[in-house]
Amino acid sequence: MKRFYLIIFFLLFSLSAQAQMLQAVVGAGGAGCNSLVDYVGTNDQSGAPAARAKDSSWCFLFTPTCYGTLKNAYLIHANTSESTAKVCVYSDNGDSIANSSDLKLGCSSSMTTSIVEWSSQTMDGGTLTSGKVWVCLFVASGAANTWSAEKDSKTVTYYYNTSTGHYDTPPANLTSVSNSASGANHTMYVTVGE
C-alpha cells in the first residue's frame, strides 16, 4: 500500500511540473495567434462604397489583434462589375506616414470577382512582430473595371497613388504611395496565425 501512495505522489508531482511548464510557455506568449479570430484590418461595412481606379494603390494603418504569421487576405467587392485586385501588408516605422522605411511583409494572390462578395486568397508569407502595419489594396492595371471598395465609417488619414504598377510588382516599400487624404478605411483584413 505504501508503494501505491508513493507512485500516486510521483504521478501528481510530475503532472504539476508539466502544468507549470505549460503555464510558463503560455504566459510568455507561446500560445500564438489564432487565425480564426486574430487579424489586421477591418471587416466593418458601415460606410459607402468607392470606385477605385485601375492601377491605383490605397493603404490604411491598423494595429493587429495579435503578432504572428500572415495567413489569408479578405477583401469585399461591392458591385457586379468584374474587377481584379490584391492585398499587401507593409510594416510601419512608427511615424504613421507611408514612406521608404515601411517595408513589404507579404501579399495575397490575385482576387477577381464580378459579384458582391468577400474574396479571399492566401498570403505569400510575412510575419507581424510589433507596432502598427499598413494594409494596402492594389487594383490591377488590366482589370476589366474599377474595384468597388466597401468602406467603414471612421475618418482616418490614408495614403494612395492613382498610377503605380503595384498590382503587378508590389514595391519593397511605400515610397511611391505618397499622397495623403482623410476618409474611411477600406473594408479588408488579413488573418494572423501561428
The number of helices, as runs of H, and strands, as runs of E, in the chain is: 1, 13
Domain identity same for 73 and 52: yes
Domain identity same for 9 and 93: no
Domain identity same for 7 and 97: no
Backbone dihedral angles phi then psi of residue 180, each to the nearest 5 degrees: -115, 155
Domain identity same for 50 and 101: yes
Domain identity same for 100 and 178: yes
Residue range 7-33: mean pLDDT, rounded: 43
**pLDDT tens string 141-152:** 999 999 999 999
102-111 burial, b for 16+ CB within 10 Å, e for fewer?
A: bebbbbbeeb
> Per the structure, how many domains does the chain have?
2
pTM over 0.85: no
Q: How far apart are CA 165 and CA 17, in angstroms?
A: 56
Domain identity same for 67 and 132: yes
Return the percent helix, strand and coil in the chain, to nearest 5: 15, 40, 45
pLDDT exceeds cutoff 70 at 6: no
Residue 194 confidence (pLDDT): 87
Q: What is the domain extent for residue 72?
A: 39-193
pLDDT exceeds cutoff 90 at 3: no
Distance between terminal CA atoms of the chain? Answer: 47
Q: Compute CA distances 5 → 8, 10, 13, 20, 65, whole Å.
A: 5, 9, 12, 22, 47
